[in-house]
Amino acid sequence: MGTDRLALQPQRTDVPATAAFRSILFGAADADLTDAAEPPFFVDLNLDQAVESIVAGRDEYDLEPFFYTPLRDEDTVVYRQEVFRDLETEALRAAVRAFAQAMQRTRQYLALVQKQHYTPERERWFLDAAEIYSEAVRSLADSLGELELDSRGFNGFRRYLSGYATSEQFGSLTTEARTVRAGLDRVRYTLRIRGGRVTVSGYHDERDYTVEVEETFARFRESTAASHRVEVPDSGSMDHVEARIAQLVARLHPEAFAALDRFCERHQGFCDRGLVTFDREIQFYLAYIEHSERLTRAGAMFCYPTVSARSKEIAADDAFDLALAAKLSGEGGTVVSNDFVLAGAERILVVTGPNQGGKTTFARMFGQLHYLAGLGLPVPGSRAQLFLPDRIFTHFERQEDITTLRGKLDDELVRMRDILEPATAASVVVINEIFASTTLADAVQLGQDVLRRIVDLGCLAVCVTFVDELTTLGEATVSMVATVPPEDPSRRTFKVVRKPADGRAYAWAIAEKYGVSYERLKGRISR
């Protein structure tokens, strides 16, 4: 058989219609991830860092497209939340992980098939891969049959798996693999080596010297002397002598090797496409669970948010920046959590306060929560009620680009236009330090114009600003302030609370700009 004929090409197995199953991620919907790309706001919200941490060590599954494809369908979000809840059961996670490990070995063996030059060796790796796969399927089917499953996803998959495990095609695969293996296990032959000549012949009850050889060299194996052997890497491939021996053995036992050949021919692409898809998609859940558990051990909390594609009344308790939490946990620190709520006609959180007080982190957290909820993931916090946006737009400070021939203010205006034109009532907008490069009067006027446009659109937004006047535009805006201890204004609490702007933000910005802030003056005096 040629190497290409033993390639793994997953096929859809004919399973009973009652066992129909599409996806553990998308339910009954079809998902096209062909053009999935990192959203433009990922860097602003540090979601690129979060996803990189989540998928680390799982490169073979190519999970990033799943994290680039949010949902707007409430039912599919709940579908994923149900799967996450089932996976809270350690027995289910253990069964799924064992299946994933077996599938990894199956792929590794099939990859070895492609690398071998000799037919007997290729076919033997193929048989081993088929047996590992068969055992993985049977073991997972048995495990799921014993567990209580509440999610539609796992119940649908269990029915699918049960139908496949009892199908004629899978039964043929397992039965034939067992028969072929038994035939090969019965192969016996005699090998005589004299000088450079090797003779292969049938086995006729000749004396087996294996035991004597092992006993002779046993004392060397038991020696406590340090080993000075050089490890020679095993490529997993036969050399030409071994290959020739295998060919001669095949001549002595034609039936066993002909059965192996027929097995490989008949069961090309033996992996069921539905199980291959499940094996990849379930890693989306496992990766996020393992990531969140690392943060939970550091004191963080996660919850299943209530989601809606219609209601814009949103709230979150004990929420935090996922990327920042991962960074701090790695350094032995803990992240500060915050709350927010928008009710009734409220649509925009306007955040003011001193520099380095946690305002930008709060804005990122707001955007992250809505995006993560749209992926069907548990979100950072103890409780959350969130909106499923059609798109998320971000406006963060950028370095001036001389190639555009525009000043910083012109560039900000162009970027805001590019946000407000495509934005809809179903969008979420995250604005960080808008129009900080102009005068206060202009910043007030331009900022009010932008927020009024957002109010007219009816979309949800968070706006970090040093302009207190933006907090009182009307009933759609809610003022939140990054707080400092009254007794020590130089210290940051990183707590952002709902209260009227206190007038310190712009004064602090001006003091920083001209080098007369508390920290700057204190530094000068100490010198």
Residue 388, token pair as written in the block:
């499923």
As a whole number, mean pLDDT of residues 438-462 equals 93
Instruction: Report DSSP state, residue 462.
Output: E
Instruction: Report DSSP state, residue 426.
Output: T
pLDDT in tens, 192-210: 888 778 887 877 777 777 7
For 201-230, what is the HEC assignment? EECCCCCCCHHHHHHHCHHHHCCCCCCCCC
As a whole number, mean pLDDT of residues 130-141 equals 98
Contacts of 278-282 with C-beta under 8 Å, sequence gap 24+, read 278/24, 278/157, 279/99, 279/100, 279/103, 280/61, 280/62, 280/63, 281/23, 281/24, 281/25, 281/66, 282/24, 282/96, 282/100
As a whole number, mean pLDDT of residues 494-498 equals 95
- For Cα atoms 430, 434, 440, give the angle at the middle one, nearest 5 degrees: 150
Exposure string of 338-371, with b = 16+ CB inside 10 Å and e = fewer, is bbbebeeebbbbbbbbbbebbbbbbbbbbbbbbb
Share of the chain above pLDDT 90, in %: 62
Distance CA 285, CA 70 (A): 14
Q: How many CB atoms lie within 10 A of CB 78?
A: 18
> pTM for this structure?
0.85
Is residue 31 helix, strand or coil? coil
Q: Which residue has the higher pLDDT, 309 or 16?
A: 309
As a whole number, mean pLDDT of residues 449-459 equals 96
Do the beta carbons of residue 105 and residue 132 sit within 8 Å?
A: yes
Say if residue 305's pLDDT is above 50: yes
pLDDT in tens, 241-251: 777 877 787 78
Exposure string of 485-521, with b = 16+ CB inside 10 Å and e = fewer, is eeeeeeebebbbeeeebeebbbebbebbeeeebeeee
Say if residue 332's pLDDT is above 60: yes
Distance CA 92, CA 88 (A): 8
Residue 66, token pair as written in the block:
């799943």
Do the beta carbons of residue 323 and residue 46 sit within 8 Å?
A: yes
pLDDT of residue 235: 57
The C-alpha torsion from 395 through 401 and 407 to 408, rounded to 10°, is 30
Q: How many CB atoms lie within 10 A of CB 417?
A: 12
Residues constituting the chain: 527
Say if residue 114's pLDDT is above 50: yes
Do the beta carbons of residue 373 and residue 380 sit within 8 Å?
A: no
Residue 495, token pair as written in the block:
């707590």
The pairing of beta strand 460-464 with beta strand 428-432:
parallel
Distance CA 453, CA 434 (A): 14
Q: Name the residue among 16, 39, 93, 4 with its Cα closest to residue 283.
A: 93
pLDDT of residue 3: 40
Do the beta carbons of residue 426 and residue 420 sit within 8 Å?
A: no
Q: How many CB atoms lie within 10 A of CB 445?
A: 15
